[in-house]
Chain A
Amino acid sequence: MINQAYIIDFIVSCIRLATPLIYCTLGALVSMHAGQINMAMEGILLTSGLTGVLVSGYTGSLWLGALGAFAGGVIISLIMGYMNIVINADMMLCGISMNNFASGGTIMLIYALLNTKGSTQSLKSLQFPNWNIPFIKDIPFLGKILSGYNVLTYLAFVMAVVVWIFIFRTRTGLRIRAIGMNPNAAASVGINVNRIRFQAYVYSGIFAALGGAFMTMGYLSYWAQNMMGGRGFIGISAANLSGGNVLLGTLAAVAFGATNALAIVLQTLNLKPELMQMLPYIATILGLVAISVAQKKRDDNIIKKAAMHVRLEREADEAKEAAVRTVR
């Protein structure tokens, strides 16, 4: 009994739930190309969600709120960058610690500013509006799927394009990719590898920041402690699955959004919510295994191809030599 309304609801739900995941995936992709894993993604979400709410609440401006969200993401990234790159703490440990740092720090921040413990519901913060696109919203079926999302959702897809341009078409993106693949090569032409790594963290934080803002200023209208529920890690996993490809990463994020939406739908069908909530995490682990297997196949192929190349070249050479000799 799956009728049209269900399908539409499901797809809309998918994309809406995928929004924060997409932002995290984009941030994780930047790190990935730099050869890093930004485990602090969860903390970035939490912090940027809070700073966005706070700034928008105090200034009354939505756009300043967005800037506030960016600032939150950057702060976490800066601390992470300092700990990992300047004083050389292990990347994983740093990331995990930063998540806890953010967890405690956000609660402290709220208390310091609002004197409440745990959530910002007392603050009148703003929300990003939904956008009902004129004309498109009236198209039957498609209209409901394409129009009516939150502004930040549309922005997420725009951001995907921006991130693609950043990684693959700018000079900084080229350098980031270079140090991610062969830092020695970059160093040998005078590039400051550590500086680029630091920048990569910061950009990662910037691109992911709006994910937090979406949760607190779009999906909900307030910030509550530990509200991100692992979305940061799912974003990292989606980036892993994509192998660095921005389009695939975005699609992976949407797919994870789908498992989230599926969980909600299945709940209404009397399947236990806790089991359903496991879906995205199980999907993540399976995805990681799949990508590992695929990666290995790909690497083996590259080696085989290169070897064949060289062998053919050599045989051509030897043929030429032989020809030259017989002429003589």
Chain B
Amino acid sequence: MDGNLRLNHFFVKYFEAIRTLVAVLIGFGVSLLFIYFISDEPVKAISTYMFKPFDGIRRIGSMVEYMIPIMFCGLGMCMMMSVGQFNLIGDGANFLAASAVAYISTCLIPNCPPILFPVILIIAGAVIGGGCGVIPAYLQSKFKTNIVVVSLMANYILILGGVYMLLYWMRDPSKTYVGSYAIPEAAKLTNIIPKTKVSTGIILAFLATIAVFWFLYRTKPGYQMRLIGKNAAFAKYSGINVVKYAIIAQVIGGALAGMGGAIDTLGKYDRFIWLASNGYGFDGMMIAVIAKGNPAYIPAAALFLAYIRIGADIVGQTTDVPLDFVLVVQSIIVMLVAAVSFMSGFRQKSVVKIANAEKAGV
């Protein structure tokens, strides 16, 4: 009985973590099911999905590369969530910053000295991202417009803007495909793992994680922002300027997404070639939801997402299964993790068992 009771206590104490884990496992299980039913060679496809991402330095590198932009978007979303706003501008901010960085480096200041070059570009990315983030935030605070709808609409505008810049401001006419001029070598981030495209960006991503965690949990403004997210009325009643800090948080969130776009471009590509968004914004939202808004869990969540994404990618290339099942999996995981009542029945039963045991004097 004692062991059983211990289990119940453990379950209730770590309920949130357990719930997240179960949701992730269910999602992963669904992905396996997809492959199993669709593929003509299910066993091969499943083993490809599960193990191939670790097969060889190039593949592991792909995972790490993927983590870079989504970590930044995830951190950006953590900032939004810290003040309780569902500002989804990350996707658009990321894309526009990426495009802008290509433009600035190829057309505006192509002769900028090295070291300084990427620094300026990353800062530019942050500024652009921050500017994107402030629009839905400001409209919401002034006019009470729905921040989700506005930010999603704004994303379309920003992405169109980024594509516009590519097509008319920096397109390289000498290439048959649609691409920008070559990004100057001095602007690019150094590659740190040979045979892969992993750049110093991954270091920057981890530094950003530490910085955002420190900011939210160790500083005065971060504290105020989190309090606003937890109970804005109480924050106001305690004398905190809710409007000001809510907007600042979202500017920082947008800036992080923008930085991610800049770093991704400068770390991985020779040219800017995108005519549509890569969906890093939604990925960022997903890992922020799994991480429950805590930057400390972003790297792990990003690794998981990168793992299943690359796995799906490989499966899509080498087997007969299209890689898009991973989107379905991501959606299911997000919804389950966000579902307040998911597994809450089990928790309730445990709580009752513990209460009964206490009454019985155990």
Direct contact of A and B (CB under 8 A): yes
A128 within 8 A of B: no
A88 within 8 A of partner (CB): yes
A-side contacts of B329, CB under 8 Å:
104
Q: Chain B: interface residue count, which band?
A: 35 or more
Q: Does B325 contact A (CB under 8 A)?
A: yes
Alpha-carbon gap, A87 to B343, bound state (A): 9
Least distance between A244 CB and chain B CB atoms (Å): 15
Within 8 Å of chain B (Cβ to Cβ): is A142? no
Indicate if A98 sits at the interface (CB-CB under 8 A).
Answer: yes
A90 to B293, CA, bound (A): 15
- Max chain A C-beta neighbours (<10 A), residue from B164, B331, B338: B331
Contact assessment for B34 and A108 in the assembled complex, using a CB-CB cutoff below 8 Å: yes
Nearest CB on B from A127, distance (A): 26
Q: Could you say which of A101, A108, A230, A285 contacts B322, with CB atoms under 8 Å apart?
A: A108
Q: Give chain A residues whose Cβ lies under 8 Å from the Cβ of B321.
A: 111
In the complex, are the beta carbons of A101 and B149 less than 8 A apart?
Answer: no
Interface residues contributed by chain A, number (CB under 8 Å) = 44
User: Please, which residues of chain A bring their CB within 8 A of the CB of B289?
Assistant: 93
Contact of A92 among B34, B148, B157 (CB under 8 A): B148
- Contact yes or no, A278 B331, CB < 8 A: no
A15 at the interface (CB under 8 A from B): no
Is the C-beta of B51 less than 8 angstroms from some C-beta in chain A?
no
The answer to whether A288 and B327 touch (CB under 8 A), given A83-B335, A96-B88, is no
Q: A85-129 CB contact bits vs B (8 Å, 1 = yes)?
A: 011111011101110110111011001100001000000000000
In the docked arrangement, what's the CA distance between A103 and B277, Å?
A: 14
**Residue in A closest to B164 when the chains form the complex, CB atoms:** A274
Binds A, one of B3-11, B42-50, B139-147, B242-250: B139-147
Cβ B145 vs Cβ A289 within 8 A = yes
A281 touches B156 (CB 8 A): yes
Tell me if A100 and B139 are in contact (CB < 8 A). Answer: no
| B339 close to A117 (CB less than 8 A) | no
Interface residues of B in 287-336 (CB under 8 A from A): 289, 321-322, 324-332, 334-336
User: Out of B143, B160, B328, B341, which one reaches A101, CB within 8 Å?
Assistant: B328
Asked if A202 is an interface residue, CB under 8 A from chain B, the answer is no
Instruction: Beyond A274-B161, A281-B157, list 19 extra A-B contacts (CB 8 Å).
Output: A37-B146, A83-B339, A88-B341, A93-B335, A93-B338, A96-B152, A105-B327, A108-B34, A108-B324, A111-B38, A272-B167, A272-B168, A275-B160, A278-B156, A278-B160, A278-B161, A285-B145, A285-B154, A292-B143
